[in-house]
């Protein structure tokens, strides 16, 4: 059986940090608690996010250096764009998504992103805030990574299902080295049916490995997606040296 529902649920509201994290022992205890929660319920986006923040310092430092070494990455770090309904042309993107055709050569990145949001009823404001990364620069890198996730769905056309998310997490692992990507892949694999395992290992993982080899490290973080709304999707893919994820043969979902 192939699950067609989105993998991660809505983030739980968090008004503040749920405990002090100024000591290594406190951070480790918090990590264990959130990891246990995520293992029990992989749809707990807040716990999955917390695991990423509590384990990601070294990877975030490397990502930050890679962005500083790239002209576009440096501009992103300087501007610190935030992906929200207020900061992107949300209504326009959703309106254009109503008539856009993903199979057309003329479809733009913005239309593909709008289609993704509209089809799956996703909210750009729904991503968790960064709570456990103390360094301001690294906290923004984590936030940018988190907010680019849906851009990458639009770019690759991977669905936000369990197996689709795992395919994207593998690509993210090759691109960022974040332990979160490895953790999410492990946790998510517990949710896979036999058919989904075949899709992951036969189709998505080889694709992610191939893309990972041909893309420079952190290349997908060094894209100012907010300036690419009107760029034809295929043109953007060609420039970034990324391919659409494989189309999966029709399978029985009953």
pLDDT for position 6: 52
pLDDT for position 126: 84
pLDDT tens for each residue of the chain, 254 residues long: 555 445 544 444 443 455 456 677 787 787 788 778 777 776 677 777 787 788 889 999 999 999 999 999 999 999 999 999 999 999 999 999 999 999 999 999 999 999 999 999 999 998 888 989 999 999 999 999 999 999 999 999 999 998 999 999 999 999 999 988 887 777 777 778 889 989 999 999 999 999 988 999 999 999 999 999 999 999 999 999 999 999 886 554 44
Task: Report the first-to-last Cα separation within the chain, whole angstroms.
Answer: 6
**Three-state secondary structure string covering 235-251:** HHHHHHCCCCCCCCCCC
Check whether 153 is labelled as a binding-site residue: yes
Residue 170 lies in a domain: no
- State the total domains in the chain: 1
**Backbone angles phi and psi of 108, in degrees to 5:** -95, 165
Residue 249 lies in a domain: no
Residue 175 lies in a domain: no
What element of type H or E holds 123?
none
Residue 3 lies in a domain: no
Residue 203 lies in a domain: no
Check whether 165 is labelled as a binding-site residue: yes
pLDDT for position 12: 42
- CB-based burial, 102-132: b 16+ in 10 Å, e otherwise: eeeeebbbbbbbbbbbbeeebebeebbebbb
Residue 10 lies in a domain: no
Give the CA angle between residues 209, 31, 218 to the nearest 5°: 30
pLDDT for position 2: 54
Residue 164 lies in a domain: no
pLDDT for position 40: 72
Residue 5 lies in a domain: no
Structural domain range at position 59: 24-158+224-240
Which are the contacts of 190, defined by CB distance < 8 A and separation ≥ 6? 39, 42
């Amino acid at each position: 059986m192939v699950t067609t529902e989105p993998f991660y649920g809505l983030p739980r509201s968090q008004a503040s940090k749920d405990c002090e994290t100024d000591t290594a022992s406190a951070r480790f205890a918090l990590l264990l608690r959130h990891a246990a929660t995520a293992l029990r319920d992989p749809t707990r986006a807040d716990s999955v996010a917390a695991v990423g923040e509590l384990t990601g310092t070294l990877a975030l430092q490397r990502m930050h250096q890679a962005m500083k070494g790239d002209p576009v990455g440096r501009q992103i770090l300087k501007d610190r764009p935030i992906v929200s309904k207020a900061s992107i042309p949300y209504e326009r993107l959703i309106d254009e998504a109503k008539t856009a055709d993903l199979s057309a050569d003329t479809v733009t990145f913005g239309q593909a992103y709008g289609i993704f949001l509209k089809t799956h009823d996703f909210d750009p404001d729904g991503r968790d805030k960064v709570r456990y990364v103390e360094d301001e620069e690294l906290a923004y890198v984590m936030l940018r990574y988190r907010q680019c996730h849906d851009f990458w769905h639009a770019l690759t056309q991977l669905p936000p299902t369990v197996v689709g998310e795992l395919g994207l997490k593998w690509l993210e692992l090759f691109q960022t080295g974040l332990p979160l990507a490895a953790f999410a892949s492990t946790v998510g694999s517990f949710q896979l049916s036999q058919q989904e395992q075949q899709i992951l290992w036969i189709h998505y993982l080889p694709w992610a490995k191939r893309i990972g080899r041909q893309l420079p490290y952190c290349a997908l973080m060094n894209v100012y997606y907010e300036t690419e709304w009107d760029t034809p999707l295929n043109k953007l893919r060609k420039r970034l040296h990324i391919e659409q994820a494989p189309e999966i043969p029709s399978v029985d979902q009953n």
